[in-house]
Chain A
Amino acid sequence: MRAPRRAEEAKAGGFAEEERSRIATVADVLIPAWGNLPSASTAGVVGSLLEKALRARPDLAESFARSVANLPETPTSETVQDLIERDYESYLTILTLLLGAYYMSDAVKGALGYSGQEALRIDVGALPAYYEEGLLEEVSKRGPIYRQAPADTI
């Protein structure tokens, strides 16, 4: 078992080469290539994206570094299964940060067709289809559906 890294080092994404390779391997087990979606390492998760994720979640830096240090040299699906059963918190920490980093990748967003949360302008002139088609009138025609209180309770 390795000594845990200091939080500040992890925060700066300061992982040694060997650790980066372990992170990349576990990242690809957790987030494999699928359809037009790249694997985590192809998307460049282990680099500036992970740094960004760690900057967003400094609270996880230390436990991430520790959890990664505790992984075997070449993590596999069995490693992940084992982690889920043995140390769910570590699994969640690793998954959260790697997924957070993955979905900040432009390539991944492009493949998902996810443009991010955009500011849109409400078209004040546009009437909703339900209005134009008279769908609300059908609801109104069916009449009130609320129950009145019995007269003696009022």
Chain B
Amino acid sequence: MSRPDVLIIGAGASGAVAAKRLAEGGFDVVCLEQGQRTDPGAYRGAYPDWELTGLKQWNWDPNVRQADADYPVEVSESDIDPLMFNGVGGSTVQFAAQWPRLAPSDFHVRSLDGVADDWPLTYEELQPYYERSDVDFGVSGMGGDPAYPPGAEPPLPPLPVPDVANEIARAHNRLGWHWWPGYNAIASRSYRGRRPCVQRGTCAWGCGEGAKGSTDQTHWPDAERLGVKLATGARVYEITVNGRGLATGAAYVDHEGVHRHQEASVVMLAANGIGTPRLLLLSSSAHFPDGLANRSGLVGKRLMMHPFGTVIGLFDRRWASWQGHWGQSLQSMQFYETGPSADFVRGAKWGLQPTGGPLGVAMGFGGDPVWGEELQERVSKSLGHSIMWGIIGEDLPDESNAVTLDSELVDSDGVRAPRIHYRVSGNSTRLLEFHAERASESLIEAGAYETIVTPQVRGTGWHLLGTARMGDDPESSVVDRWGRAHDVGNLFVIDGSLFVTSGGVNPTATISALALRATEHLISRRKGQATP
């Protein structure tokens, strides 16, 4: 391939957003993606073995799934297992498509709560990009939410909710607590060639209907039609640089195991909060002995993964508790801000979700599987009678939570694997305990006769954030407010690594808005852009 204007590494959420927008702007773009395309017909949601295959072939944990595209992640020093999907669409292939935004306060936690750092931008600056991303991803939801400043309505009306969700809404009104129809990047109506959601509830194992806004559906078809060259099975192992310290492209192993080099004028890293620092650290050179763009020493540090807890409510009434988007039917931001008498700072968003099929119930999400009469009792009580608040708590950045390179573990191409050191903080633990108690109150008020609380679950590192943070000061950040590396003028980071703080919401609406913003900045400054 000749020298394109931009090389994007990773075809997930952020890579797809950038590829499409650059192609619309007339740029010549190549994207290298280590995984493959997935035919939606391959998903198992419509088959009786969906839960069994979900524990292996469609597991969210690359260390369990061990597919050809996956690289191992050393996690023996991590309290949370990082999760991802590697292929065209990236982790959106398996994401639950919950699509909340950060709240205005999230951009100013140092000023407001005296912790962590402020972002170098505001909610208001990001809002137009949020609104355009909503349109691109086909978001269903309802405007007027008092948890956010006013703005455009989501392009599609909310998805249906089970009747028990109405009961929970009534309960919250009695308690005076916030709730709102959930925001989901799932089409509630036919939308831009996508079929509407059929409420099968298997979103996190791939959406065979194409209703879910994974970027293989929402962005890649347009991007490729506009001329983006997407190479699959291409595992990048180094960003190459010249004597002037500018990126010249990337070295990769192709699907046949041949080592190749792709030149480019500009390189964009979209390999997620683990893949991106891994690549920057792998790309050390005489010019950049501690890893590329790492003058601040912060590459890989401040990893945030959002400790996650659940509260399940058991009800006497019966409904198909396994159906419905998985996704969120309602969202509550009641305890999102730091409370006056709380023993922790910041808060969490709650999302109301179905509780899955019988095998998942039996195996105990986040708990232990049971057997014998206890098993039969658990499944009979829960299946058809339960609903779950999923609680996403703010995860404050801590430099000791970090991605480094493991000294021994390598991937199938012999490239050094990432190693995670991550401990759940005392703030997160106290926060999740408080929220689990409140979420139990919510469900009991709605008529649950019992709640099952799992304050924190290990296998929930869905959100990989903060490992190449943005900021104005090159001493304390890796990239600037537009995602451009302080140390390498033609290298951009556009994925979840950018996050300054995690907020207490699912991040992909923000990742996508930030990627769109960074890409448009690059387009607008194309004349002055340094190239090798």
Residue positions of A touching B, CB distance < 8 A:
29-32, 34-35, 37, 52-53, 55-57, 59-60, 77, 80, 92, 95-97, 99-100, 103-104, 112-124, 126, 128-130, 133, 135-136, 138-140, 142-150, 152-154
Contacts and interface: CB of A to CB of B under 8 A. Distances in A.
B333 interface: yes
A150 B109 CA distance: 10
A128 B376 contact: no
Nearest to B48: A104
Interface string B105-136: 10110011000001000111000000000000
Given A100-B359, A145-B333, A153-B111, A116 B48 contact: yes
A56 B146 contact: no
Given A114-B322, A122-B196, A149-B104, A96 B52 contact: yes
B198 A100 contact: no
Contacts of A136: 142, 144, 180-181
24 contacts: A31-B375, A35-B380, A56-B52, A57-B52, A60-B56, A92-B369, A96-B363, A99-B358, A114-B322, A114-B357, A114-B384, A122-B199, A133-B166, A142-B146, A143-B146, A145-B147, A145-B178, A145-B333, A146-B149, A147-B104, A148-B105, A149-B104, A149-B122, A149-B123
**B interface SS class:** loop
Interface stretch (B31-39, B168-176, B463-471, B472-480): B168-176
B72 interface: no
B213 to A, nearest CB: 16
A135 B175 CA distance: 13
Interface string B326-342: 00000001101100000
Interface in B5-56: 45-46, 48-53, 55-56
Contacts of A55: 49
The 6 closest A-B pairs by CB, nearest first: A34-B376, A56-B49, A119-B198, A100-B52, A129-B166, A149-B108
A143 B188 CA distance: 28
A123 B157 CA distance: 12
A55 B56 CA distance: 13
A153 B118 contact: yes
Contact of B179 (A92, A99, A119, A139): A139
B108 A142 contact: no
A126 B320 CA distance: 18
Nearest to A106: B48
Contact of B49 (A31, A53, A119, A146): A53
B376 A30 contact: no
Contact of B161 (A118, A130, A138, A150): A130
Contacts of A80: 371-372
A146 B148 contact: yes
B59 to A, nearest CB: 11
Contacts of A96: 52, 55, 363
Contact of A146 (B105, B165, B384): B105
A112 B144 contact: no
Given A34-B373, A130-B181, A135-B169, A144 B146 contact: yes
A124 B172 CA distance: 26
B198 A130 contact: no
A126 B380 contact: no
Contacts of B104: 146-149
B383 interface: yes
A58 to B, nearest CB: 9
A56 B372 contact: no
Contacts of A147: 103-105, 112, 337
A149 B108 CA distance: 6
B201 interface: yes
Nearest to B159: A122
Of the candidates A37, A96, A118, A139, the one having the most CB atoms from chain B within 10 angstroms of its own CB is A139
Contact of A99 (B111, B173, B359): B359
Contact of B197 (A57, A117, A122): A122
A50 to B, nearest CB: 11
A114 B371 contact: no
Interface string B155-197: 0001111010110011011001011110000001100000011
A104 B357 CA distance: 11
A154 B123 CA distance: 10
A148 B55 CA distance: 43
Contacts of A59: 56
Nearest to B377: A34
A145 to B, nearest CB: 6
B160 A122 contact: yes
A129 B161 CA distance: 9
Of the candidates A60, A95, A103, A121, the one having the most CB atoms from chain B within 10 angstroms of its own CB is A103
Interface in B278-333: 318, 320, 322-323, 333
B458 interface: no
A31 B427 CA distance: 41
B407 to A, nearest CB: 27
A117 B200 contact: yes
B163 A129 contact: yes
Contacts of B248: none
A118 B107 CA distance: 41
B240 interface: no
A124 B111 CA distance: 45
A55 B144 CA distance: 49
A97 B53 CA distance: 11
Given A57-B53, A117-B357, A119-B198, A139 B180 contact: yes
